[in-house]
Amino acid sequence: MAINRRTFLKRASAAAAMGAPLVASSRAIAASDRLVVAVGQWGIETPFAWRSSQSEKTLWDCAYDPLIMRDPKTFEYRPGLATEWKPSNELKTWTFKLRSGVQFHEGFGEMTAEDVKFTVEQNLKPDSQGGSAPFFRMHLERIETPDKHTVVMHFKNKVWEVPSNFTQFVGYQNITSKKYVESVGEDKAALHPIGTGPFRHVEGKQGDYHRFEAVANHWRKTPAFKELVIRRIPDPATRLSGLRAGEIDIGNVFGDYLDQAKKAGLRIHETANAACHWMVLQGQTTPDREDYCPSCPWAGDPKDPKSQENARKVRLALNLAVNKKTIVNALWKGLGSDAPFMYWYYPFHKGFNKDWKVPPYDPERAKKLLAEAGHAGGFEVRVNPLVMTYALDGPDMVEAVSLDWEKIGIKVRRVPEAFSNFLPKNRARKTNKTHWVYGSPPFDEPVLAWQRCIYSKGPFNLLADGPYDEDVDTISRDSTPRSGRG
C-alpha cells in the first residue's frame, strides 16, 4: 500500500510513543558508577584494525588506543601511543616513538614496537578486509623495530597520508597485543578483546551488548564511571524508552524522538554539522565487479558517451525529485541544512566551494530529464532502508526519498537488510545494485576518503568507483606539504 509523506511521518511519530523493552541491569555495582550507552548500530563487530572500518569505533575505541589522538575541539593531532612521529627519506620512511610503560589489559605485558608491527602487518593478509588494508598492501614495504619503543615503517612510495591512518579518527589501527592474539587465535581473541584503552572488556554478547570496566590511572584519562555498558539498540523508540526509564545514560535521538526527549526533561548533547548524507546509487563501479551495471539508467555504459550523458540526466532527476528541505525540517528538526555540500569535502577543507549546493526540489524538471534520457515511464530501483552507524534514521531518510521518487514514476522496491550483513556486500561490490543512505565522517583531506570510497582499488564503493581513479592517484601522489590538521 502506498503512503504519502504526511502518513509516513505520522507513523514515525506514533512509533516513538510505543512501549519498549528495558535495558538489562548488571551485577553488583552501584548504578551511579555505571554508564550505559545505547548505540544505534555498529559494523561487523570485529575489534581488529585489519578487519575494521569506522563503524566499529563506537564500540571498541574505549578498549584500545591509537598511535595518534585528536584534540576534541580542533580535531588536530595529539600524541597517543606514539609520542612523536616524523617522515624521512622523502616521505618513504615514517618513524614512530612509542609511549613507555603502557600495559595491555589482563597482564598481557607492556605495549611495544612488536605489537605495533604485528597489528599493521595483519593488514597484509589477503583476507584482511579492513578499510585501511588496501593502503598498507599497496604501499608498505617493511617494518623495523630497532628498539622496543621505536617503529620504523618503510614504504614503497612517498606517502604523506601515513599519520591519518593511525589517528583516533578516522584511522583505525588500534594496537592489538601480539602475544594475546597469537596465544588464543584470532577468532577467540575477537570475542574478548585485549587492548590498552581506558576501559577493559569484561564480557559481551555478539550483536547485543558489551561490558567494560574502567582502567585506573590510565594515561589518556581515568574514566569517571567504573563500568561502561555499550548496547546495540537500533530502534529509536526503545532507546528513548530506556532513557526515560533511567536505564540508558546516552542515546542518539532524532526527529520526533528528539522532541519527546526534550519534553521528558532529558538534556540534549549536540555535535554540530557532523554528517553529510546522500543516497548511494549502486551500480557505478568497474566491469570486473558484480554490481557493474551499464544498463542501469543511473549508471550508464562507460564506453558510450551518449549513455553516460543520459545517466547523468537520470541522476540529476533523482536529485531534483527529492524534497530536501522537508527532510531537514521534518526528519532532522531543522538541525541541518541543504547547503553547503560535497562528497567528503567539508567547509574546513582548503578549496571548499560554497557554490556546491544541494540541487533544488523540482519534480517537474526531474520528469522532463527522465523523458529526455529515454525513461519517461520510470524504472525500477532497489533500496535498503538500513540503520547505518552514521545514519541511524536511515530507514526514515530512505523512505522519504523513495516516496518522492515514486511521484516521478520510479518504482521503488524496498529490500531491508541489516547493515552488518550489507556492509561486507558493499565492500565486495555485490549489493545487487541496492541503494541506501550513507552518512560521512570527516577526513583530514577529501582524498583520504576518496582513496577508500570512490576508488576501484579502495575497500568500499560509496559513490562511484572507477571514473575517478586517475584523479585520485594524481592527488594522492602529490606530496606537497599539507596544511592538514596536525
Partner 1 sequence: MTQGLGQKLYDDCRGVMLGMRSLTWAVSKKVNAWQTLVYVPLENNYEYVS
Near partner 1 in 372-401, by CB under 8 A: 389-390, 397, 401
d(CA 440, CA 169): 12
243 binds partner 1 (CB under 8 A): yes
Q: Does 361 bind partner 1 (CB under 8 A)?
A: no
- Report if residue 329 touches partner 1, rule: CB under 8 A: no
Q: Which residues contact 293 (CB under 8 A, 6 or more apart)?
A: 282, 283, 284, 299, 433
Q: Does 406 bind partner 1 (CB under 8 A)?
A: no
Cα(408)–Cα(430) distance, integer angstroms: 28
The closest of 399, 328, 391 to 5, measured between CA atoms, is 399
DSSP secondary structure letter of residue 454:
B
Task: For residue 68, give the nearest of 59, 56, 77 by alpha carbon.
Answer: 77
Does residue 266 belong to the site contacting partner 1 (CB under 8 A)?
yes
Among 85, 94, 166, 332, binds partner 1 (CB under 8 A): 332
**Residue 210: closest CA among 21, 64, 18:** 64
Residue pair 353/341 in contact (Cβ under 8 Å)? The answer is no
Which span sits near partner 1 by CB under 8 A: 105-113, 142-150, 179-187, 213-221?
213-221
Interface with partner 1, residue 254, by CB under 8 A: yes
Choose one: 2-10, 142-150, 172-180, 219-227; the region binding partner 1 (CB under 8 A): 219-227
Interface mask (CB under 8 A) for partner 1, residues 66-105, using x and -? ----x-xxxx------------------------------
Q: Distance (Å, rounded) from C-alpha 459 to C-alpha 175? A: 21
Binding segment (CB under 8 A) for partner 1, from list 16-24, 186-194, 310-318, 409-417: 310-318
**Residue 474 is a binding residue for partner 1 (CB under 8 A):** yes
Are residues 76 and 486 in contact, defined by beta-carbon separation less than 8 angstroms? yes
Of the candidate spans 96-104, 107-115, 356-364, 412-420, the one that interacts with partner 1 by CB under 8 A turns out to be 356-364
**Least distance to partner 1 from the beta carbon of 109, Å?**
22
DSSP state letter for 214 = E
Q: How far apart are CA 148 and CA 264, in angstroms?
A: 53
| Half-sphere exposure at residue 165, Cβ-oriented, CA atoms within 13 angstroms | 25
* Nearest CB to partner 1, comparing residues 48 and 443: 443
Nearer to partner 1, 175 or 472 (CB): 472
Pairing of strands 227-232, 434-440: unpaired
Give, rounded to a whole angstrom, the gap between the first and last alpha carbons of the chain: 53
Is residue 249 near partner 1 by the rule CB under 8 A?
A: yes
Least distance from partner 1 to the Cβ atom of residue 106, Å: 19
Of 224, 287, 288, 380, which one interacts with partner 1 (CB under 8 A)?
224
- Compute the distance between CA of residue 355 and CA of residue 332 in angstroms, rounded to an integer: 23
> CB of residue 145 vs partner 1: minimum separation in angstroms?
29
Asked if residues 290 and 428 have their Cβ atoms less than 8 Å apart, the reply is yes
Under rule CB under 8 A, residue 53 binds partner 1? no
Residue with smaller CB distance to partner 1, 114 or 372: 372
Figure out which of the listed residues 193, 204, 223, 458 binds partner 1, where binding follows CB under 8 A: 223
Closest CA to 55 of 425, 345, 344, 441: 441
Q: Output 134 or 236, the one with its CB closest to partner 1.
A: 236
Whether a cis peptide bond, with omega within 30° of 0, leads into 340 is yes
Question: Could you say whether residue 198 binds partner 1 (CB under 8 A)?
Answer: yes
Q: Which stretch binds partner 1 (CB under 8 A): 287-295, 416-424, 426-434, 444-452?
A: 444-452
DSSP 391: B
Among 228, 366, 373, 449, binds partner 1 (CB under 8 A): 228
Q: Does 193 bind partner 1 (CB under 8 A)?
A: no
Residue list 5-34, contact with partner 1 (CB under 8 A): 32
Binding residue for partner 1 (CB under 8 A) from 175, 189, 281, 370?
281
Half-sphere exposure of 266 (CA within 13 A, CB side): 25
The only residue of 211, 277, 375, 452 in contact with partner 1, by rule CB under 8 A: 277
Number of chain residues interacting with partner 1 (CB under 8 A)? 110
Quick one: CA dihedral 386, 51, 82, 346, positive or negative? negative
